[in-house]
Structure formats: structure tokens, C-alpha cells
Amino acid sequence: MLGFLSDYTIQNVALGAALLGVISGVLGCFAVLRKQSLLGDTLSHAALPGVCLGFIIAGARQIGFILAGALVTGALAALLMLLLTRNSRLKTDAGLGIALSVFFALGVVLLTFIQSTGNASQGGLDSFLFGQAAAILRSDLWVMGVVTAVALSIVSLLWKEFKLVSFDPVFAASLGYPVLVLEVALTVMIALAVVVGLQMVGVVLMAAMVIAPAAAARQWSGRLETMVILSALIGMASGISGALVSALGPGLATGPLIVLAASAAVAVSLLFAPGRGLLWEIIRRARNRRNLRGKRVLTTLYRLAAHHHDSGYPSEQGMVDAYHGVGTTPVLKRLQARGLVEPVTHIPETTPHWTLTQAGIEEAESILTNLGKQES
Amino acid sequence: MLMALFQTPSLMIVMTGALVGIAASLLGTFLVLRGSSMLSDAISHSIVFGIVIVWLLTRQQTGPFQIAGAALTGIFTVFLSELLASTKRVKNDAAIGLVFPVLFSIGVLLLNVYARDVHIDEHMVLLGEIGFVWLNTLDIAGYPVPQALLSMSLMTLLNLAFVTIFFKELKLATFDEALAKALGFAPVAIFYALLALTSATAVAAFDSVGAVLFIAFVIVPPSAAYLLTDRLTLMLLCGSIISIASSISGYFLAVAWNVSIGGVMAVMTGVFLMAAFLLGPRYGLVAQILRRRGLEQSNECRTLAVHLYNHEDQPEQAAENVTRALHDHLMWDEARATQVLIRSIDQGLVTRNGDLLQLTEKGRAEARRILEPWRMAGA
């Protein structure tokens, strides 16, 4: 096991995955909060022509050129999207889709152009489509590390501005912040995250890495500070676990596994996060429904007693069942456990009967009074 | 004669591309108008999952099972996204972006594990190669018909039939979903049928143009058409024409440059979109700029008319209604004042009497319409 972890390639992959998780987790928060989740998808597909251009210019698989190219075309695609949606009647979704598909098509054209020129070292380019974590070199990690560090320092320097623009751009503009510049900056930074993820998960799956950690973190916290830190941790954890699992067997591609790990984090968060978790909501609803049934049965007993002018009136259970249309045994048992009702016999009948205790009468009266208050 | 046609690879390739484009843009028109074009992105990625599952079950790479499987996968993707969004824990777009990568990832992993030596791989699904469509043919009445051409023809006919038969329902569901619901037209069912057809078309198209380039055909030609026209029928027609034009021009450029044919076809849709964006008759950028300039110019002429009207027959007329005053009082520089003056004289609003500028009857009416609109209503 220890030998497995000290493997050079696996160390590289895990480090790369961790870097990717941190940068996409942090920047993804802003994208998700600004309702631009699919921007990551567009920017990552649009990185493909840049990868090819970087390769053509450098003449070989030089990571610096390739990532710079990816950043440039990603930014260009974002600009095209803005240009189309601001100056025509096309909506955001169409703008995103146009930038995505046309830039990707351009990438495919350039890819085949490189293939047709018969460059021997073009084999590495395919890995940018789906990611090939095992092909990552230590020198690539340095580049990825520097990009991550730059992005994180920009976020911490412009923290207040980014926060304001994400939550209330109109207010930010009224305070005199350069909203457009800040928005463009956030967009370009997502392109930075995409650039880091290209080798790990590839252009196709980067969308998930921008959205998933942020969406998971959102469930656990309502504060941006906590959310960003959590998102970075979730991104890192899913990156490392996906990378390690992929090292276990042949044919287990790293990118899909990282994405599945991050998506599993989303599923767990959606279900179990305190407060927002769906499971808690289901339990809360079931409890409310049970409470409501208890209250209804209790007030039924109270009304029957009042109708007969007898506070100790023994109501027959069959009658209560018929009145509510369901079996009320569990409800009555629960009320009995709370000391609000007690079973009585009503000779000569043999069927179960129930009567209210003093506490039950008080409870029923308080329910009915409150009910009246809400109605008026 | 017909035999020779079927044995012409270039014609077969162009026709397949054009059919993919028409089939896709017929459906894409409604997706773009509805504002859910990114669903085509989600669908075309997640059908990889459907393709692998159907392959594992039936060992068939193409054919009706694959198309039905894809249709189900598409519906499944959208259903999951809407379910996720309905929990109100994530936004709609984030829900889409969470669902399809999961399905795509599972699909790719299954491919890697179970189908390593099969002819389907994720490159094929994503990129496709339209240049080889004429290699894989079926004999129909003695003619070697490319399989892709056949399946795309069927899909195009199916989509065309759907759009024609349910035109009214589609139109209402797209433009006024609430009204459609109130009238009992089941807009949700129509929407899911549209998405099922989109997925089926995607899988029929994937081995010729690939999933991602299919997105281009779904979104880009209808968007370009949307910039050209306001009528739905014209939009459908324009989208199809742009698809055909992209297919033809894309083929010849790709052959000239020796690059991916499907890729250039998709890029060409982008070129046509940019052309529509810049040069469209009403919504094009150039038309917008011209209209804005025209408005600016006519406002300048009207400003001049009002200025002259205010000082007409007043004691200060000789000082105000001269060219010099335009510079001092309206803050126009020499060149601008001259231009406005020339334009106003051309339009018959103003005449020049020596140094004095005088309004014509038309110019006076124009000024009155601005200053005293109530009088004009009476007159």
C-alpha cells in the first residue's frame, strides 16, 4: 500500500488532481452563484482550438504554449458569448451554445490539420480531450501550481469586490465598482481553472469540476467564506480519490472517476447536509404530518366529549377511525404515551374506548384556541 | 445515372451533412426559441451512456434499438436535471451541468472496461468522421445507399413530420406555455417529445458528424435564422438553408485544406451566424448602427428646426438664425453645423436667405409637431 502511494506517477496525478480541485472549487463558487454554471462547459470546450494553436506555434507538446493558447481561446469564446448576447436578441443559452460548438468545431479542424501535417509528437494532444492524468509530468505540475497560486491570490486580493459583484451587481455598480471589469475577470479566471484541469479531466468533463464542488459546498453553508473553503476541500478530495481509484485498474480513466467522485459529493450533500439536506426535509415533513394527525384525533375526542357534556366521555375507537377514514391505533398509542389520552372500558361493549386525561383536555383546548386565532 | 450519383462520395457526404443540418435545425429552432439550447449539449454528451448500455444489451452499434435507447437517455437526462432543479437546492443551469457529466463519465468508464476492442469509442462518438460515410453502404433496390444517408433521411422525415403535424402545438408551447397548458395542449409532453427526437437525431448523426458538432447544427443555424426573421415558418426555412449552405461550403473548404469535414461544416454554421449577426436586415449590428445614426441625424435636423422656430420673427432673429449661432448656441462645431444644415436644406426643412436661415412650411410644421403637439392634433 505504501509502495503504491510512493509511485512517482501516482504522486504526480494526485498532486495535479488536488490542484485542480482547489482552483475549480474556489472559482466554481462564483460561477454557480452568478448563475453561470454552464460557462465552464463553454470555456472548456473552447479551450480545444487553443490547445491546438499552442501546439502549432510551439511545434511540439510544450505545456506553457498549450495552456496559454487554451486561456486565449477560452477568453475569446467568452467574449463572443458576451458580444452576441449583449448586441442581439439571442439569449444566454444560445450564446453559450454557439460559442461552445463553433469553437470546439474549430478545435476539431485544427486537430485534424495537425494530424495531416504528420507531426510525430501529436499523440499527446488527444489526451486533452478526455484527460490523461498518467501523462502528467512533474514540470506540468509546476505550471499548474503557478496558475493556481495566481488565481487564488487574485481571488483573495479582490475578495470583497468579487463577493459584491456575485451577489448584487447593481449595488456594486452604484458604489462605483467597475462591474464589467470584475465580471470579465471572474470569467477569465474560470478559463484559468479550465486550463489547469485540461490534462486531468479533459475539455469535455471540466464543466462538472466547475459546478459540482461548489454545488456540494453550497448545501453545507450559507456564507461565501465557508462555502469557498469547503468547495476547495471537496474539489481536492474528489480529485485525489478519483486519481487514486483510477490507478487501481487498467482502463479506469482518471477524468470520469474524478467527476463521479465530485458528483457523489454533491449527492451526499444534497441528501445529508444539515438544514438544506433533502433527507432532513423528508423527516421534518413526516414529523409534521404525524403531529397534525395527533392534533386532529385529540380535538376529535375533545369535540365528542364536549358534545356529550361529559369531560370523561369514552369515545369508541371504531367511531374515531370511521371519522378520520384511517386506522387511528398508532396515533392514539402515541397520544397515550404523551399522557393525553387513556384507554377505558365501556361495559357492556367490548370494543376499545378512549377518554381524554386532564392534560389532554388542556392540550386540545390550547390547540383549538390557537386554531381560532390563526383563522381570525 | 442514379448509380453514378450514389457512387460519388462528395455528393453523399454533402447530402449527409445537409440532412444532419436540416434534421437538427428543425428541432433546434424550438429549443433556441424556448431558451433551452444548452439541453442539446447535455443530451449529446449523455447519449454516450445510452449508446453503451444499448450496446451491452444488444451488441448493436447502430439501428433502431440504438435510436430508441438514445431517445430514452435524452429524456432521462432532462428528467433528472428537472428533478434536481425542482428540489430548489441547485439552480436550473447547474442541474443540467451536474447530470450530463455523470452520465457521460459512466458511459466512458463502461466503454473502457467492457468495450475496449469494439469499434465504438468516445472519440468516434464525440468527433465522428463524415468523410467515411460512403464506405458503409446498404443495398436498396440494387443501389449502394450509404447507411448514414439512409438513417439521416429517415430522421429528417420523422422530424419534419413531427414539426408539421404538431406545428400549432409546438408554436403555442414555445411562445406561451401557460396558455398552451390552459387550452389542454400538454406543452410538457410536446417538450419531451421534442427532446426525445433531438436525442434520436443525435445518435443517428453521431457517426457522421459526432456529438459535439451536432450541437453546432442544433443551435447555430436556428440562432442565425432568428437574427434574420420574425416568422416561425421562415425561421425554420432559413435554418435549413443555412445548414445546406454550411454543408456544401464546409465540404469543399475541408477538402481544400485537408482537415475534418464535419468540423469545417460546423465552423461554417458559425460563419453564417456571424454574417447574420453583422449584416442581418433588421437585427444585424450594421443595420442597428445605421438606424441609430439615421435617428441621430434626423434629431439634429429637428433640433435645428426647433431652434429656428423659437427665434422666428423675433427681434434677435438676425443674431440667432444664422450659421454662426449654431456653433455658439447649439454647441455644434463647424463641420457638424454645416452637415446638419446641408441635410436640412436637402430635406426641404430650411432655406437660406442671404445670411439668414428660414424655415420652410414643412420645417415649421415639424417644429410645431415637437413644441405644440396639441395644436397639431386639432388641426
- How close, in Å, is residue B55 to chain A by CA atoms? 18
Euclidean distance between CA atoms B101 and B83, whole angstroms: 16
Contact B254 A109 (CB under 8 A): yes
Among residues 157-196 of chain A, which lie with CB inside 8 Å of chain B?
A: none
Nearest chain A Cα distance for residue B339, angstroms: 29
CATH placement of domain B287-378:
1.10.10.10
Show which of residues 254-293 on chain B sit within 8 Å of chain A, judged by CB atoms: 254, 257-260, 262-267, 269-270, 273, 277, 283, 285, 288
Cβ–Cβ gap A252/B285 under 8 Å: no
Please tell me the predicted confidence (pLDDT) of residue B116: 64
Residue located via cell numbers 388542556: A362
Q: CATH homologous superfamily for B2-219?
A: ABC transporter involved in vitamin B12 uptake, BtuC (1.10.3470.10)
Taking CA B280 as the corner, what is the angle to CA B278 and CA B283, rounded to the nearest 5 degrees?
Answer: 90
Q: Split chain A (376 residues) into runs of 10 and give each run's mean pLDDT.
A: 65 87 92 87 90 87 85 92 89 92 91 74 66 77 90 93 91 90 88 83 84 93 92 93 82 84 93 87 90 87 86 83 82 86 82 86 86 60
Q: What is the DSSP letter of A134?
A: G
Residue A303, SS3 per DSSP: helix
What is the rounded distance in angstroms from the CA atom of residue B246 to the CA atom of residue B236? 15
**8 Å CB contact of A38 and B93:** yes
Give the three cell numbers for residue A148. Answer: 493556481
C-alpha cell at B295: 435617428
Residues of chain A contacting B89 with CB distance shorter than 8 Å: 218-219, 270, 276, 278
B-facing residues of A in 239-258 (CB < 8 A) are 251-253, 255-257
- Max Cα–Cα distance, chain B, nearest Å: 98
Contact B101 A207 (CB under 8 A): yes
Q: Render B98-138 in DSSP notation, one character per residue.
A: HHHHHHHHHHHHHHHHH-TTSS--HHHHHH--GGGGGGSEE
Most A CBs within 10 A among B32, B124, B130, B219, hence the mutation to make, goes to B219
Neighbour tally for A358: CB within 10 Å: 11
Q: Which residue has the cell 437585427?
A: B283
Does B93 contact chain A (CB < 8 Å)? yes
Distance from CA of B90 to the nearest CA of A (A): 7
CATH code at A2-271: 1.10.3470.10
The answer to whether the beta carbons of residues B48 and B211 sit under 8 Å apart is yes
Asked, colleague to colleague, whether A2-271 and A280-375 share their fold, the answer is no
Contact A81, A93 (CB under 8 A): no
Q: Is B36 on the interface with A (CB under 8 A)?
A: yes
B215 closest CB neighbour out of A35, A89, A97:
A97
- Residue whose C-alpha cell reads 435554418 in the numeric block: B239
* A275 contacts chain B (CB < 8 A): no
Q: What confidence score (pLDDT) does residue A40 get?
A: 87
Q: Which residues contact B351 (CB under 8 A, 6 or more apart)?
A: B345, B357, B358, B359, B360
Taking CB atoms and an 8 Å cut-off, how many pairs form between chains A and B? Answer: 197
DSSP for A146-196, written as a single string: HHHHHHHHHHHHTHHHHHHHHH-HHHHHHTT--HHHHHHHHHHHHHHHHHH
How many residues does the structure list for chain B? 379
Place of cell 432532513: A280
DSSP A121: G
Name which of A63, A40, A18, A30 is nearest A203 in CA terms: A40
Q: Which residues pair with B79 in a beta bridge?
A: none
pLDDT digits (tens, 9 = 90+) for B33-65: 998 899 998 998 888 888 888 888 887 776 778
The domain defined by A280-375 folds into: Arc Repressor Mutant, subunit A (1.10.10)
Nearest CA to CA, how far is A102 from chain B (Å)? Answer: 5
Three-state helix/strand/coil letters over B47-100: HHHHHHHHHHHHCCCCCHHHHHHHHHHHHHHHHHHHHHHHCCCCCHHHHHHHHH
In this prediction, residue B117 carries a pLDDT of 59
B-chain CB neighbours of A45 within 8 Å are 212
Interacting residues of A254 by C-beta distance below 8 A, sequence separation 6+ = A13, A17, A131, A132, A133, A134, A200, A201, A242, A243, A246
Distances (CA, A) of B83 to A92, A166, B75, B90, B310: 22, 26, 12, 10, 66
Candidate from A32, A263, A270 with C-beta closest to B102: A263
Each domain of chain B, given as residue ranges in start order, spans 2-219, 287-378
Residue A70 to residues A74, B28, B157, B376: CA-CA distances in angstroms? Answer: 6, 29, 40, 63
Strands (E), chain B: 137-140, 143-146, 350-353, 356-359
- Distance of alpha carbon A104 from alpha carbon A341, whole angstroms: 71
Of the candidates A151, A167, A208, the residue with the CA atom closest to the CA atom of residue A22: A151
SS3 A79: helix
Question: With 0-12 CB in 10 A as exposed, 13-18 as middle and 19+ as buried, what is B253?
Answer: middle
B324 has a chain A CB within 8 A of its CB: no
Exposed/middle/buried for B171, CB within 10 Å: 0-12, 13-18, 19+? middle
Q: Nearest CA of chain A to the CA of B215: how many Å? A: 6
Q: Any CB–CB contact under 8 A between B86 and chain A?
A: no
pLDDT at B278: 93
Whether the CB-CB separation of A4 and A185 falls below 8 Å is answered with no
Those residues whose C-beta lies under 8 Å from the C-beta of residue A298, and which sit 6 or more positions away, are A335, A340, A341, A356, A360, A363, A364, A367
| Pairwise CB contact (< 8 Å): A36 & B213 | no
Q: Which of A102, A219, A253 lies closest to B267 in CB terms?
A: A102
Inter-CA distances, A145 with A22, A241, A242, B366, Å: 10, 19, 19, 68
In Å, how far is B139's CA from the nearest CA of chain A?
31
Cβ contacts of A49 on chain B, cutoff 8 Å:
none
Q: Do A210 and B97 touch (CB under 8 A)?
A: yes
Q: Across the interface, which of A88, A204, A215 has its CB nearest the CB of B98?
A: A215
Regions of chain B where pLDDT drops below 70:
1, 62, 115-131, 134-135, 207, 376-379
Residue pair A211/A239 in contact (Cβ under 8 Å)? The answer is: no
- DSSP, collapsed to helix, strand or coil, labels residue B357 as strand
Bridge partner list, B138: B145
> What interhelical angle do B261-279 and B285-311 show, nearest 10?
10
Cross-chain Cβ contact B35/A108 below 8 Å: no
- The alpha carbon torsion through B101, B105, B107, B112 (nearest 10 deg) reads 160
Residue of B nearest to A207 (CA): B97
Distance between CA atoms of residues A90 and A173, nearest Å:
25
B window 229-258, beta carbon within 8 A of A: 254, 257-258
| Half-sphere CA count of B136, side-chain side, radius 13 A | 14
**B235: how many CB neighbours lie within 10 A of its CB?**
24
ipTM given for this complex:
0.86
CA B177 remoteness from chain centre: 21
What is the model's pTM?
0.84
Hey, where are the domains in chain A?
A: 2-271, 280-375
Strand A353-356 with A341-344, pairing: antiparallel
